[in-house]
Amino acid sequence: MTTDHAVRDVAKAPSRFDVTKFAAIYRRFGTILIFGGILILASLVSPDFLTQANLTNVLRQVVVVSLLACGVTFVIILAQIDVSLGSVLALCGVIAASVMAMTGSVLLAIAAGLLVGALTGLISGLVITIFGIPSFIMTLAMTTVARGLVLLYTGGSPVTGLGDFKIVGQGSLGPVPISVIILAVVAVASWVLLNKTKFGRYVYAVGGNPRAALASGVNPSKIIVKAFVLNGVLCAIGGVVLMSRINSGQPAAGVGYEFDAITATVVGGTSLMGGTGNITGTIIGAMIIGVINNTLNLLNVSSYWQQIIKGLIIAVAVILDVWTKRAGKGRS
């Protein structure tokens, strides 16, 4: 009887597409499989893709978005969102550039940028938790406030005369760009924070079920504020790297970066509904976006088409997330 049953299982398995199994595989390996596929595709369609110069270029290009994506991963796991990443990046980067121009100290410049980033995060986090308003609305407000502030401060013109500031974004340690090293450090630190510390666990718990977290002695508001501060600091690091690479404080920089960062995070498997996600996925997600951007550039595809393609990618990624979650859901 049992053997009979087992035989039937084997006979039936290949004849039908098993949705549940596909969902389980996608949830585990989806991002990495997609990344592999895109790498192969990129090297096939463009002979220039696999050159060392181009790959270093791709890495340099993804650094800023990856930094933002690491921060916003914490925010999204908490079932919150931050759409002010690009503006906050511009504000922090310009403040850093301006302090650099005034004092000539790289360290002071970076410290000033990070402080402003932490401050914007603190403000967003506090307003969201104290007044209970949706993070989308608060960070939308922060988007225009931060952009307005940076334009007001600079009068709309770039900050120049930055001296050694460019070392952060342009310098290399041997063959490896310093900005890539910064990203590596940030990514590893974010991973450790999320997976190996109490704070990381509380982020998952609050994102999954804030009421259960509260009843288990976790203060959800505190975790949310901390995550927004962290997110602000990573925006600032992104700003410093970007302004240093272009060697001037550009008040109009970073427009639309939040979109790439959120796309990278979601493509990387972090659910917009909160409670699940990880940094490894986010970094791979950012790489996927970077490689797609790079390949389309190599192929001379217009930037308008690039926007359309990126829009489709985020829609498909969210559809796959929702769909595989539903298909993989167990009994209740």
Partner 1 sequence: MNAPQSDIVLEMRGITKRFPGVLALDRMNLKVRRATVHVLVGENGAGKSTLMKVLTGVNSIDEGEIYFRGEKLELRDATTALSRGISMIHQELSPVLDMTIAENIYLGREPTLGKGILSRFVDFKTMVSDTQTLLNRLGLKYDPRTRMRDLSIASMQLIEIVKAISRGASLIVMDEPTSAISDAEVEMLFRQIADLKAHDVAIIYITHKLDEIFRIADDITVMRDGQFVASDRASNYDETKVISQMVGRTISSIFPKENVPIGEEILSVRNLTRAGVFAGVDLNVKSGEIVGLAGLIGAGRTEVARAIFGLDPIDAGEIRLNGEPTHFASPADAIRFGVAMVSEDRKAEGLVLCRSVLENISLASLHKFAPGVFINDGAERSEAQRMINLLQIKTPSATVVADNLSGGNQQKIVIAKWLLGDLRLLILDEPTRGIDVGSKSEIHKLMVQLARQGIGILMISSELPEILGMSDRVFVMSAGAMMGELKRSDATQENIMRLATGGLS
Instruction: Report in angstroms how near the CB of residue 211 gets to partner 1 at its nearest.
Output: 5
- Chain residues 23-62 in contact with partner 1, contact rule CB under 8 A: 24
DSSP summary character for residue 166: G
14 in contact with partner 1 (CB under 8 A) = no
Q: How far apart are CA 243 and CA 253, in angstroms?
A: 8
Q: Which member of 132, 217, 300, 302 binds partner 1 (CB under 8 A)?
A: 217
Q: How far apart are CA 3 and CA 309, in angstroms?
A: 50
Binding mask 218-237 for partner 1 (x = CB under 8 A): xx------------------
By the rule CB under 8 A, 215 interacts with partner 1: yes
197 binds partner 1 (CB under 8 A): yes
Q: Is 185 in the site for partner 1 (CB under 8 A)?
A: no
Tell me the C-alpha distance between 119 and 319, whole Å: 35
In whole angstroms, how close is the CB of 262 to partner 1 at the nearest point?
A: 20
What b/e readout covers 111-132, taking b as 16+ CB neighbours within 10 angstroms?
ebbbbbbbbbbebbbbbbbeee
Q: CA-CA distance, 302 to 58, in Å (whole number)?
A: 18
Say whether 278 sits in a helix, a strand or coil: coil
Instruction: Name which of 142, 60, 89 is nearest 254 in CA terms.
Output: 89
Choices 92-100, 108-116, 167-175, 212-220 (CB under 8 A): range interacting with partner 1: 212-220
Radius of gyration, alpha carbons of the chain: 22
Q: In this structure, what token pair is assigned to residue 152?
A: 């007001």
By rule CB under 8 A, what count of residues binds partner 1?
A: 32
Q: Does residue 196 interact with partner 1 by CB under 8 A?
A: yes
Q: Which of 59, 115, 126, 201 binds partner 1 (CB under 8 A)?
A: 201
Check binding of 326 to partner 1 (CB under 8 A).
Answer: no
Report the C-alpha gap between 108 and 106 in whole angstroms: 6
Q: How far apart are CA 262 and CA 285, in angstroms?
A: 10
Binding of residue 20 to partner 1 (CB under 8 A):
yes
CB of 221 to partner 1, least distance (A): 10
- Does residue 189 belong to the site contacting partner 1 (CB under 8 A)? no
Complex with partner 1: residue 75 or 83, whichever CB lies closer: 75
Of 202 and 228, which has the nearer Cβ to partner 1? 202
Closest CA to 272 of 186, 207, 199: 207
If binding is defined by CB under 8 A, does position 280 make contact with partner 1?
A: no
Binding residues for partner 1, rule: CB under 8 A, are 5, 8, 12, 20-21, 24, 192, 196-198, 201-202, 204-205, 208-209, 211-219, 275-276, 328-332
